[in-house]
Amino acid sequence: MKAFIIGLAAVVIIGVGAYVVLHKPASTTPSPAPSQVQARDDSSHNSPNTITFDGDHFSPATLTVSAGTTVTVKNSSSQELQFDSDPHPVHTDDTDLNAGTIDPGHSQTFTVEKTGTFGYHDHLNPSIQGTIIIK
């Protein structure tokens, strides 16, 4: 009887182990935080919280929003944009702004949480700059 109980326990342990292994998610990448970037292909998006890049400058040059606001960066140029916070090249002032690469005709959104005044730029051409004020 004791051997039967040990055998049964071993089968249960092996079964649970097999279940865990077989039902493990395919990717171990953590889910992105809500404030992280979300890609968008909506080239017609023009909300009041949109920053548009035309290849030469950002419009508006300064955007004022409240903390918790979702901001859209729209690349209306014919070139790739790499949208990042200041300072160049480390992008550490407000990492919520680090939208990364946005292809021509595409948009990306992010949610701002940290209050203050922050600069941002096109990493590929850091002389093209803008400012966001988060209240």
Residues found in the chain = 135
pLDDT tens series, the chain, 135 aa: 766 677 555 555 665 555 544 554 444 444 444 344 444 444 444 578 999 999 999 999 999 999 999 999 999 999 999 999 999 999 999 999 999 999 999 999 999 999 999 999 999 999 999 999 999
Query: What's the mean pLDDT when you consider all of the chain?
Result: 80
Q: pLDDT tens for residues 97-116?
A: 999 999 999 999 999 999 99
The pLDDT of residue 48 = 85
Give the whole-angstrom CA distance, residue 57 versus residue 77: 10
Residue 121 near residue 60, CB atoms below 8 Å: no
Count other Cβ atoms within 10 Å, centred on residue 6: 10
Read off the DSSP letter of residue 77.
S
Instruction: Parse the chain into domains and list their residue ranges.
Output: 38-134
* Three-state secondary structure call for residue 134: strand
- Out of 3.40.250.10, 2.40.10.120, 2.60.40.420, 1.10.460.10, the CATH code matching 38-134 is 2.60.40.420
- 124: which 2 tokens? 């590929």
Say if residue 65 is exposed, middle or buried (CB neighbours under 10 Å; 0-12, 13-18, 19+): middle
